[in-house]
């Protein structure tokens, strides 16, 4: 959970002026934004890997699954399932078989894993780096630099890999100040699949009262 939220913390609330940005990077990100916002739904597999300063995996990579439909989303990560219907958010701990229920705040980036697809839009300076392959996919690599209280961030740069053909995010790499890296490989991104609304609600009927923490 903390690793997911560490990624979401990088979303800031101040939109930077276009004249302060690299125009080539801006054109690529504008195309990415246009493509992403046109999707009615997004489903994707994300492989998260934490590397140390020697670029060795700290632990086994984690597989996440995410589905997004407007303000609604469902996220499965090791140990937790997070579900939101746009108004209520359920965080289910699979091992403890306990769920925490809260009101969903659409403006709170910490609550919304869907921000992974649009985090580049706010609070960053950006610069085109190079073209590089992610697997067999040729991508444009954009370097993002936090412009809002960068001294409080645990990272100094986020590298975003944009599929040159599909205009989709293929990978995110956070370069940490301690020399490590947090790598998010976005696999099998599928837009506009039909997703029924009940997918974005959590049924608590099978749980006992002491397994439910309702903080609304």
pLDDT digits (tens, 9 = 90+) for 180-192: 999 999 988 999 9
Structure tokens at 56: 């060795």
Kindly give, in sequence order, each residue whose CB lies less than 8 Å from that of residue 6, ignoring residues fewer than 6 positions away: 154, 174, 182
What's the whole-model pTM score? Answer: 0.79
- Is pLDDT of 7 > 60? no
Three-state secondary-structure class, residue 22: coil
| Cα dihedral 48, 49, 53, 59 in deg (nearest 10) | 130
Confidence at residue 75, expressed as pLDDT on a 0 to 100 scale = 92
Of residues 193, 147, 138, the one with CA closest to residue 166: 138
- Is pLDDT of 199 > 90? yes
**Candidate from 2-6, 35-39, 117-121, 150-154 with smallest mean pLDDT:** 2-6
- Is pLDDT of 4 > 50? no
Structure tokens at 72: 């609604």
From the CA atom positions of the chain, what is the Rg in Å? Answer: 18
Distance CA 86, CA 112 (A): 10
Task: Report the 10 Å Cβ neighbour count for 164.
Answer: 15
Give 5 or 159, the one with higher predicted confidence.
159
**Candidate from 19-33, 58-72, 157-171 with smallest mean pLDDT:** 19-33
Q: Which strands sit side by side in the sheet containing 80-84, from one edge to the other?
A: 124-134, 137-146, 155-163, 169-176, 181-191, 42-51, 62-69, 72-77, 80-84, 88-93, 98-103, 212-214
Please give the average per-residue pLDDT across 154-172, as a whole number: 92
Confidence at residue 190, expressed as pLDDT on a 0 to 100 scale = 93
Structure tokens at 46: 């994300």
Maximum distance among all Cα pairs of the chain, rounded to whole angstroms: 56
Cα distances from 100 to residues 79, 80, 94, 189, 202, in angstroms, run 14, 11, 12, 29, 11
Domains of the chain (ranges plus CATH)? Answer: 2-197 (2.50.20.10)
Q: What angle do CA 92, 7, 140 make, to 5 degrees?
A: 130
pLDDT band at 164 (very low <50, low <70, confident <90, very high): very high
Confidence at residue 118, expressed as pLDDT on a 0 to 100 scale = 67
| Cα dihedral 89, 74, 39, 111 in deg (nearest 10) | 40
Confidence at residue 157, expressed as pLDDT on a 0 to 100 scale = 92
Please give the average per-residue pLDDT across 134-154, as a whole number: 89
Runs of H (alpha helix) within the chain: 2-8, 23-38
Please give the average per-residue pLDDT across 12-26, as a whole number: 57
């Amino acid at each position: 959970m903390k690793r997911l939220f560490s990624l979401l913390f990088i979303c800031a609330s101040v939109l930077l002026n276009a004249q302060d940005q690299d125009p080539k990077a801006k054109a690529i990100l504008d195309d990415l934004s246009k493509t992403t916002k046109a999707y009615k739904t997004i489903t994707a597999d994300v492989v998260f890997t934490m590397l140390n300063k020697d670029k060795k995996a700290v632990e086994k990579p984690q597989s996440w699954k995410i589905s997004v439909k407007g303000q609604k989303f469902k996220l499965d990560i090791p140990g937790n399932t997070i579900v939101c219907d746009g108004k209520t958010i359920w965080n289910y701990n699979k091992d403890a078989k306990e769920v925490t229920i809260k009101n969903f705040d659409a403006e709170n980036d910490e609550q919304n894993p869907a921000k992974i697809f649009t985090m580049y839009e706010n609070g960053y300076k950006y610069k085109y780096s190079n073209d590089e392959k992610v697997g067999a996919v040729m991508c444009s690599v954009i370097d993002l630099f936090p412009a809002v209280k960068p001294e409080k961030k645990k990272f100094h740069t986020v590298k975003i890999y944009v599929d040159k053909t599909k205009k989709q995010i293929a990978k995110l790499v956070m370069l940490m100040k301690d020399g490590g890296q947090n790598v998010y490989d976005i696999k099998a991104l599928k837009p506009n699949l039909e997703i029924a609304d009940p997918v974005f609600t959590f049924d608590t009927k099978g749980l006992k009262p002491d397994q439910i923490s309702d903080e609304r």
